[in-house]
Amino acid sequence: MESFSLNSARSFIGKNVNLHLKDGAVIVNVHLNNIRKGNFGKSNFIEYTPYGNRKVAAIPLRSVAWAELLNVTLINMVD
């Protein structure tokens, strides 16, 4: 299986996804905002906003295993 890379992360920018982490945890229903360089250019971070929240959080790109694209129209129908 191909690892989650910078190029694949860029394809999800501006979309709502579930982030599946390498340790088995899942960050549910987040909007990916940006990819930024870490201190001294050593690592990349994915900036995301959780649903219903305005605070931006960040997670290292290397700790994400894969991202699952969400269909927002189905979520809005349930609300």
Q: Count the domains in the chain.
A: 1
What pLDDT is stored for residue 4 in this prediction?
85
* Residue 58 within any structural domain of the chain: yes
Instruction: Enter the pTM of the model.
Output: 0.84
Give yes or no for a contact between 43 and 35, defined as CB atoms under 8 angstroms apart.
Answer: no
Question: What is the span of the domain harbouring residue 28?
Answer: 6-78
CB atoms within 10 A of CB 34: 12
CATH code, domain with 36? 2.30.30
Question: 58 has which bridge partners?
Answer: 47
* Residue 45 within any structural domain of the chain: yes
* Residue 1 within any structural domain of the chain: no
* Residue 48 within any structural domain of the chain: yes
DSSP state of 12: T
Q: What's the CA gap between 41 and 66, in Å, rounded?
A: 22
What pLDDT is stored for residue 2 in this prediction?
63
Give yes or no for a contact between 75 and 29, defined as CB atoms under 8 angstroms apart.
Answer: yes
